[in-house]
Structure 1
Amino acid sequence: MAVIHPRIHWGAREVDWTWVPETTDEITGVARRMAAEAMGVLGFVFFAGAAIIVNSKVSEGGLGLLGMAAATGVAYALMVYMFHPVSGGHLNPAVTLGELAARRMPPSIAALYIAAQAGGAVLGALLLEVVFRDFVGDASGAAALTFADKMTGWTGALFEGILTFVLVVAYIRAFVVGRGGNIALGALTLGLIVGAAFLVAFPLTGAALNLSRVFGTALVANEWTDFGWYALGTLGGAVAGFVYEYVFQSPDESHEVHDSPGREAPAEA
């Protein structure tokens, strides 16, 4: 069994501060989760970025806003559905921060998740460069997200934060509180939220809702415009986890056991 050092009290719940694996199987299990997060974000960054590039550089607007929104939402839903059984399908630093704020995962594991998501995003941006090199000289730059000229930083961050809040609350409701539910339905719900957010926010903020996606294209293209504002908007995920924990959650839900990665569930009496 993995060793947890130490357990701290956070509100009414004990939280694992860090998690130390003791066996090769436990290390392998965490590595599988990290790989799943990286692969899921890679796939999402590639498909979402490809939709933007195809619309702007290949088909000359052929996809349109609706087509790009559909491609982005479907890609997110599919990646969550594919990788949820392995890692929980966070695929988003905001979701991971929401889980952390809701005291449902150790900070050490959350840090590993976010690092894996960032790595996957960079690989996704590099893959865009390879696939679309004959169509555009800077594919990751073409797929990079920025705020509209009339959108101020604070307003854009607030807009991104609100949309991210909705996404994270939906994730917590579908997959954390409602564990054992329908994974396909939960993934579809998240995909619909991402698609709807794209329709209303892409012309204004790019509809990121995912800092890892912004980070991947920004790093490869060396284009950091508005990155700080996107990072601020990501805090909406942490707020969502905190608010759900203390406002939306019912008393019965607050007593559910949610085990940390690698921790064995307590035996039933």
Structure 2
Amino acid sequence: MAVIHPRIHWGAREVDWTWVPETTDEITGVARRMAAEAMGVLGFVFFAGAAIIVNSKVSEGGLGLLGMAAATGVAYALMVYMFHPVSGGHLNPAVTLGELAARRMPPSIAALYIAAQAGGAVLGALMLEVVFRDFVGDASGAAALTFADKMTGWTGALFEGILTFVLVVAYIRAFVVGRGGNIALGAVTLGLIVSAAFLVAFPLTGAALNLSRVFGTALVANEWTDFGWYALGMLGGAVAGFVYEYVFQAPEEISAHDSHERAAEERPAEA
């Protein structure tokens, strides 16, 4: 009886859907990627949260919506640019889900990425507590994101999902379809999307587009309001991955995928 193992594009090679690192070099490589993801999310959560705290608690509105949007977008672009050469610069569970849905990452590695992103987000929220302890008693709470009072859960989740979909499609176009392209240009593109989303969505949903960012401040501040809706919005990333797989993917790539799956079906099961 044949065992089906769909093939996954993982970096410059193809592996089974069930692939896990086995050799020392593979384990070390995955550890480096996880560290990069954690550090990148740490930096993003800190700078994005700092922009909100400075505006609301330090400068009394001095930054304004435009200033916070610019700071958040620039921070995301810089973190992606810095860590893309190591981990791909996901820095967002939605991006990781998108690559998983597009069959560009094994599930085991996707789970490790998301865990690293969550850990980095918590460290970033803790750093906010340390740096701003003299300005606000609960810095992570001040930086926590929630929906506006008039924004219902389903509507907010849909809005977050749409914005997340756009961000992940842009990532895939820049760094998956356009693999080997200009990293700086791709990072700037993502930063601009984050800034634009912030301008239109911050007053309504907080413009998260990134569940790890919500998780870090929620855990440290114990503020879980609307967290479930943010998690639902993250599914926009998975939808983006499916769209890439069936819309953006070149016909020759689709044929290659199909041939790999047929070969897998014909492969005899291992004892």
Same fold (TM over 0.5): yes
Shift of the alpha carbon at 1:255? 6.7
- Structure ID, larger Rg: 2
Q: Contact 1:121/1:217 (CA < 8 Å) preserved in 2?
A: yes
Q: Contact 2:54/2:63 (CA < 8 Å) preserved in 1?
A: yes
Shift of the alpha carbon at 1:16? 2.5
State, as a whole percentage, how many aligned pairs show the same letter: 94
Q: Contact 1:147/1:205 (CA < 8 Å) preserved in 2?
A: yes
Determine the C-alpha separation between the residues in 2 that align with 1:114 and 1:39: 13
Q: Contact 1:160/1:233 (CA < 8 Å) preserved in 2?
A: yes
Q: Judge which range, 190-199 or 5-14, deviates more.
A: 5-14
- 1:204–1:249 CA distance, 2 compared to 1 (3 A): same
Shift of the alpha carbon at 1:259? 15
- 1:12–1:43 CA distance, 2 compared to 1 (3 A): closer
Shift of the alpha carbon at 1:21? 2.7
Determine the C-alpha separation between the residues in 2 that align with 1:59 and 1:66: 14
Shift of the alpha carbon at 1:243? 1.2
Determine the C-alpha separation between the residues in 2 that align with 1:185 and 1:82: 13
Determine the C-alpha separation between the residues in 2 that align with 1:229 and 1:214: 11
Determine the C-alpha separation between the residues in 1 that align with 2:134 and 2:262: 46
- 1:51–1:132 CA distance, 2 compared to 1 (3 A): same
Q: Contact 1:2/1:23 (CA < 8 Å) preserved in 2?
A: no
Determine the C-alpha separation between the residues in 2 that align with 1:266 and 1:193: 47
Q: Contact 1:36/1:86 (CA < 8 Å) preserved in 2?
A: yes
Q: Contact 2:10/2:104 (CA < 8 Å) preserved in 1?
A: no
Q: Contact 1:106/1:260 (CA < 8 Å) preserved in 2?
A: no
Deviation readout 1:8-28 (Å, 9 max, x if unpaired): 999999862333333222211
Aligned length: 269
Determine the C-alpha separation between the residues in 2 that align with 1:27 and 1:266: 28
Alignment of 1:96-115 (within 5 A): 96-115=96-115
Which residue in the other structure is 1:200 paired with? 200
Residue aligned with 1:261, SS: helix
Cα RMSD (Å)? 5.8
- 1:139–1:106 CA distance, 2 compared to 1 (3 A): same
Q: Contact 2:160/2:208 (CA < 8 Å) preserved in 1?
A: yes
| Structure 1 residues without counterparts, runs of 5 or longer | none
